[in-house]
Structure 1
Amino acid sequence: MTKDQTFATDLAHFCHHQHWDLDRVTTATALVVNLEQNTYTGILWDLAATNLDTTIATITLIRNQQNGPLLIFSPNPDDRQRRKLFRAKVDDVLEKEITHDVLRPIIEQRCWLYQHASVTTEDPFEEEKPLVEDHVQIGDWEIDPKKVQVTKAGQKVSLTRKEFQLLAFLADHQGQVLSREQLLNGVWGYDILGSSRIVDIHVSHLRDKLEDDSQNPVHLTTVRGFGYKLE
């Protein structure tokens, strides 16, 4: 995650030589969305791309779902930054000028640690209480919390976990206008400063998958100036 084109190009060349795939995002929001859609071995985060508070909040949000190394790069990391970042459970705080000869064994060693750590067979989501208790019918949409499944006109619709949780949370509050902050807290469990774009992106994805016309939604509507409503 970086906005620094030079740094991104350097990392891309480095990863290419190691035969590692690398995806680049430029914002914390885009990173959160990508992690919900894909599985990654690790995360490389450029601290210059955002402020420390947003970094800490986002890492707190994603740390439990990222079973791999999370490396922070900073031009001049100080002790205060390091303390806060390590409390947020990052693996390393590295200088951006670190040489490839050093970076490669660091990444390999951190990956080795995760691969050899004791792994629980329990599903971390198994004990989660469903956001809706029973089947919910919204027009021709049907939400089944036990199967974690949504159908439209009898056809199964593929949703990510967070898309389903967002839809279920809205369904549990049918007819109520929910602000982006309420949705962030209710679904993601953390209100990240300036992160309401995450909600907008997921609502847009739900409309694309469920509404007949995503530009003129019938069920998942916007209440301008307030938030969203499912009806």
Structure 2
Amino acid sequence: MVKKFLLMTQQPALAEQVKLIAQKAQWQVEQVTTPTGLVVKLDGDQYHGVWWDLTNVNLDTTIATVTLIRDQVMGPIMIMTRTLTDCLAQKLYQARVDDVVLLPFYGAALIAQTKQRLWVYSRLTQPKVVTREHDYSLHVEGHQRVGEWQIDEKNYLVTKHGQQIQLTPKEFQLLMYLVNNRGQVLSRDQLVNGVWGYDLLETSRIVDIHISHLRDKLEDDSQHPVHLLTVRGFGYKLV
């Protein structure tokens, strides 16, 4: 399988340099220029790692976005910066960044460093995917039902009409938050605080994207949802 990476940078020269060295390792690189663009990309596809250029991005935005995407990236998140202080390093590593790369960098060193991190992630024990049907009559605790949706909280499993629905970790967390507050109108800020636990820029877009994906996967007609409802001017609620 060809490994795919996301590069977040607004510097064309850096993007070209990274793409050239990645090509030598037979890796694919997709560039985005904004943190929100990176979040959208990750929500639509899987990547083996992220390179993040800190040059033109606010540190608070960086910390918030890395915190948001950390459980979506089962691979290295590496920050590129021209200067590094003890305080900056501490904040980045507290956000679960894997490495900090000083600019300018040596191509061979970046490839070797990334390969090492990929090896570490390959050694991690992956959670088992539950594919068998569950006997819900024997296991009531930890299960929720919404219409034809059966939600197994313990195994992070959602089924509809007996078919397993693949959700990302954040989609599952968002669904559970809505289910646990069913019938209540929740603002986008409430959803972000309850699911992501961090103040984010462009909050409404991130929430709307995740709600849209849940509707596509769970509703019979995503354009006319019967469970994941929009309350105009306020937010969302699950019924």
So what's the TM-score if we normalise by structure 2? 0.74
Write the distance in 1 (CA, Å) between the matches of 2:118 and 2:162: 41
Write the distance in 2 (CA, Å) between the matches of 1:180 and 1:10: 39
1:215 match: secondary structure = coil
Specify whether residues 50 and 200 from structure 1 end up closer, same or farther in structure 2 by C-alpha distance, changes over 3 A only. Answer: farther
Equivalent residue letter for 1:213 = D
Q: Which moved more, 1:187-196 or 1:53-62?
A: 187-196
- Structure 1 residue runs without a partner (length 5+): 124-131
Let me know the Cα RMSD of the aligned residues. Answer: 3.2
* Superposition pairs of residues 112-127 of structure 1, within 5 angstroms: 112=116, 115=119, 121=125
Q: Which moved more, 1:191-200 or 1:206-215?
A: 191-200
- Structure 2 residue runs without a partner (length 5+): 1-7, 128-140
Write the distance in 2 (CA, Å) between the matches of 1:154 and 1:113: 38
Which residue number in structure 2 is paired with residue 108 of structure 1? 112
Which residue number in structure 1 is paired with residue 78 of structure 2? 71
Cα offset, 1:215, TM superposition: 2.1
1:190 is aligned, of 190, 194, 198, to 198
Cα offset, 1:177, TM superposition: 0.8
Write the distance in 2 (CA, Å) between the matches of 1:94 and 1:171: 44
Equivalent residue letter for 2:191 = L
1:170 match: secondary structure = helix
Specify whether residues 82 and 146 from structure 1 end up closer, same or farther in structure 2 by C-alpha distance, changes over 3 A only. Answer: closer
2:143 is aligned, of 134, 141, 147, to 134
1:45 equivalent to 2:49? Answer no
Write the distance in 2 (CA, Å) between the matches of 1:178 and 1:230: 9
Indicate the percent of aligned positions where both proteins have the same amino acid.
50
Which residue number in structure 2 is paired with residue 27 of structure 1? 34
Cα offset, 1:150, TM superposition: 2.3
Q: Number of paired residues?
A: 218
Specify whether residues 191 and 70 from structure 1 end up closer, same or farther in structure 2 by C-alpha distance, changes over 3 A only. Answer: same
Residues 136, 143 of structure 1: 8 Å contact kept: yes
Write the distance in 2 (CA, Å) between the matches of 1:161 and 1:177: 23
Residues 36, 162 of structure 1: 8 Å contact kept: no
Equivalent residue letter for 1:178 = L
Specify whether residues 177 and 43 from structure 1 end up closer, same or farther in structure 2 by C-alpha distance, changes over 3 A only. Answer: same
Write the distance in 2 (CA, Å) between the matches of 1:188 and 1:200: 14
So what's the TM-score if we normalise by structure 1? 0.76
Equivalent residue letter for 1:43 = V
Which residue number in structure 1 is paired with residue 216 of structure 2? 208
Specify whether residues 106 and 192 from structure 1 end up closer, same or farther in structure 2 by C-alpha distance, changes over 3 A only. Answer: same
1:219 is aligned, of 220, 227, 232, to 227
Which residue number in structure 1 is paired with residue 130 of structure 2? none
Cα offset, 1:193, TM superposition: 3.3
Per-residue deviation, residues 192-224 of structure 1 (Å, max 9, x unmatched): 233442221110101112223222222211112
Per-residue deviation, residues 64-83 of structure 1 (Å, max 9, x unmatched): 66554432223x43646455
Write the distance in 2 (CA, Å) between the matches of 1:25 and 1:205: 21
Residues 67, 114 of structure 1: 8 Å contact kept: no
Equivalent residue letter for 1:144 = D
Specify whether residues 195 and 111 from structure 1 end up closer, same or farther in structure 2 by C-alpha distance, changes over 3 A only. Answer: farther
Per-residue deviation, residues 116-148 of structure 1 (Å, max 9, x unmatched): 59x66596xxxxxxxx9332123x333232443
Specify whether residues 137 and 61 from structure 1 end up closer, same or farther in structure 2 by C-alpha distance, changes over 3 A only. Answer: closer
Which residue number in structure 1 is paired with residue 64 of structure 2? 57
